[in-house]
Amino acid sequence: ELPTMKMLLPLIALLSAALLASAAPPTCYSRVLSLSKEITESFKELQSSKTVDSCVETLPRLYLDIHNYCVLAKLRDFVAYPGCDRVVEVNELKEKARSLYTILISYCRRDLVFLTDDCNALEIPISPPIEHS
């Protein structure tokens, strides 16, 4: 009976650690990182959609890098852009951008470190490396 207990104890500890890790609350950094990726992806989908209003083509680019200080200006410009108010998807995207901006300047201000202030880097998104098979 004792050898069985010795084998079960590490397994129970491992499962407990896995459960605690998945239940951990998101940090400010993980929240802004996931929200910025979500916004960037939504913007890409919006631009590639054939059914959306032509005003979408005039929207400021919305490639976000939360490590770049210029992301704050990029978010402000996007939210303040006057066009496309009649397009529901654009309004939803503006609301997400407003939320991200608020999180960055209010809740996470002391938790984040900007690694660059290269505003041009936010105009041309870096393509992910192509995987060869």
- The DSSP secondary-structure symbol of 54 reads G
What is the tens place of the pLDDT at every residue in 66-91?
Answer: 888 899 999 999 999 987 888 889 99
pLDDT of residue 38: 94
pLDDT of residue 99: 94
Lowest pLDDT segment from 27-31, 70-74, 92-96 = 27-31
Residue 130 sits at the vertex; the CA angle it makes with 126 and 133, to the nearest 5 degrees, is 170
Residue 5 has pLDDT above 70, yes or no: no
Whole-model pTM: value is 0.70
Q: Is 68 helix (H, G, I), strand (E, B) or coil?
A: strand
> What percentage of residues in the chain have a pLDDT greater than 90?
25
